[in-house]
Amino acid sequence: MPSVLITGANRGLGFEFARQYLADAWQVYAACHDPNSASELRLLADASGGKVRIMALDVTDLASVKAAAAELDGQAIDLLLNNSGIIGAKGGQTIRNMDYEAWANVLDVLCGCRRRLSTMWHAASASLS
Ligand SMILES: NC(=O)c1ccc[n+]([C@@H]2O[C@H](COP(=O)([O-])OP(=O)(O)OC[C@H]3O[C@@H](n4cnc5c(N)ncnc54)[C@H](OP(=O)(O)O)[C@@H]3O)[C@@H](O)[C@H]2O)c1
């Protein structure tokens, strides 16, 4: 059975990806900031017969990524959908008046996490070599 790990799976597009991959009979690793508040995702997981496994994961926090990798316990992932993202400061952003800290946070969630998530990917695939 193919497997997918989806970040930001508690709502929005991430949740819809989780729902559709489950419907296509994939093993879904549904990662989110706070599993306790992910009520819709928990309902999906509860009804999935173990096909949706919820994992705590903050993509900006290397310790959190390493903990999630350890939780996978060498289980290989076929597909990583790095869906998590933030939109940053809304309104009033111009080239002369930019909230650069907010912009850096947007890039960290969208791009910086690639390096951290590769830790997870390699940890999972190491068991295959
Ligand atoms: N919807 C669109 O039209 C559109 C267009 C272009 C690109 N996108 C991109 O597609 C992705 C999903 O869009 P969406 O509309 O579904 O967004 P959304 O509803 O705002 O959901 C964003 C998801 O990312 C999670 N997230 C944010 N920071 C995180 C972090 N540090 N660690 C782990 N998870 C984190 C959020 O978790 P919490 O609930 O815990 O905050 C949430 O699950 C985003 O990357 C977005 O930039 C969307």
- For 64, counting Cβ atoms within 10 Å of its Cβ (0-12 exposed, 13-18 middle, 19+ buried), the class is middle
pLDDT number for residue 129: 45
Mean pLDDT throughout 17-37? 97
The pLDDT mean for the chain works out to: 89
The CATH number of the structural domain formed by 3-126 is 3.40.50.720
What spacing in Å lies between the alpha carbon of 108 and ligand 1's midpoint?
Answer: 13
Sequence spans of domains, the chain = 3-126
Q: Which residue has the higher pLDDT, 9 or 124?
A: 9
**Containing H/E element for 114?**
helix 113-126
For residues 14 and 6, give the distance between their C-alpha atoms in angstroms, rounded to a whole number: 6
The answer, yes or no, to whether residue 128 has pLDDT greater than 80, is: no
- What is the pTM for the complete model shown? 0.91
Poorest-confidence range of 7-16, 22-31, 59-68?
Answer: 59-68
Mean pLDDT value of segment 15-28 = 98
Nearest CA to ligand 1 atom 17: 12
Alpha carbon of 127 to ligand 1 centroid (Å): 30
Query: What percent of the chain shows pLDDT beyond 90?
Result: 55
Structure tokens at 35: 């599993």
Beta-strand runs (E) in 1-129: 3-6, 27-32, 52-56, 79-81
- 30 Cα: distance to centroid of ligand 1 (angstroms): 13
